[in-house]
Amino acid sequence: MEATEKKTIMHEEIGTKKPCSSCKWQIADPTNPLRGQCTVNRNAMGGVWKRWIADVANVTCSQHMEGKLSFREHV
Ligand code: SF4
């Protein structure tokens, strides 16, 4: 139960292959690109998130796939 919950919540995962830095929901902190902010306002669950990311390279969550950048998003 706890493990499942952890996946949906932003969490640290050292060396993750799906970091916040490659997620479109992430906005880099202009003064420190290693930090950022995650703003999700149209995820599948309809939730709204706005939270700080302390380390964009080693933090992820299960919304990463949904937030993955794709060509369609650049239209
Ligand atoms: S949706 Fe998840 S993986 Fe994407 S920036 Fe937010 S916390 Fe990181």
User: Residue 64 CA: which ligand 1 atom is closest?
Assistant: 3
Q: Looking up tokens 């919540």, which residue turns up?
A: 9
Q: Report the amino acid identity of residue 18.
A: K
pLDDT band, residue 66 (cuts 50/70/90) = confident
Q: Give the structural domain span for 60.
A: 2-74
Q: Please write the tens of the pLDDT for every residue from 2-12.
A: 555 556 788 99
Q: Indicate the number of domains in the chain.
A: 1
Residue nearest to atom 8 of ligand 1 (CA): 20
Q: Ligand 1 atom 2: the closest Cα is on which residue?
A: 61
Q: The CATH number of the domain where 51 resides is what? A: 4.10.490.20
Residue 40 CA: which ligand 1 atom is closest?
Answer: 1
pTM confidence score: 0.76
The per-residue pLDDT for 51 is 87
Q: What values do phi and psi take at 2, rounded to 5?
A: -65, -40
For range 47-67, the mean pLDDT: 87
